[in-house]
Amino acid sequence: MTTHLAITDVSALDNHRLRVELETLLEDAVNSGASVGYHAPLEPHWRRAFWDGVAAQLSGGAHRLLIARGTEGELLGSVQLALCTKPNGAHRAEVQKLLVFTRHRRNGVARRLMAAVEETARLLGRSLLVLDTLKGDRGEPFYEATGWRRAGLIPGYTVEADGAFHDTVLFYKTL
């Protein structure tokens, strides 16, 4: 269990070092089989395009990026929170792209990031969170173990690297 880590809410991706770390994190996640919208091997232009998109969302104010750093300052992982901006959805947000470096998995980093993103949502007045994960992926039992409730399944939601359609599982959590 990683006990010494700091979680920071990042408001902009204008720091070159952080940007390189995040691109490497995404590449590590995709190349280790994470279903986050890309197939391995992840090409450099996709790493940049993904984080360019996140940077644009952050500048719009309805998106949050939390990062976890270890005691030596190394990036361990990240998670995002997309805030609903519609009047009828001001109470909800979507947790997106929980990423932890392969070498730091199974040490409590993901649990700490999820606790932090839930607390961030609470502080922002959000009482309902949603997320999705690939059926059968390691995320599915993780979310169940951390108090998330299964809402349903969408068949054939993604086309994975094997060319086959795969289902996604929807989860929610009331704060």
Within a domain: 97: yes
Within a domain: 154: no
Within a domain: 85: yes
Give, for 7, the enclosing helix (H) or strand (E): strand 5-10
pLDDT in 10s for each residue of the chain, 175 residues: 666 899 999 999 999 999 999 999 999 999 998 889 899 999 999 999 999 999 999 999 999 999 999 999 999 999 999 999 999 999 999 999 999 999 999 999 999 999 999 999 999 999 999 999 999 999 999 999 999 999 999 999 999 888 899 999 999 999 9
Q: And the tokens for 163? A: 């060319």
Within a domain: 30: yes
| Long-range CB contacts (within 8 A, 24+) of 136-139 | 136/166, 137/34, 137/35, 139/98
What is the domain extent for residue 74? 5-126
Phi, psi (deg, nearest 5) at residue 119: -65, -40
Within a domain: 93: yes
Within a domain: 138: no
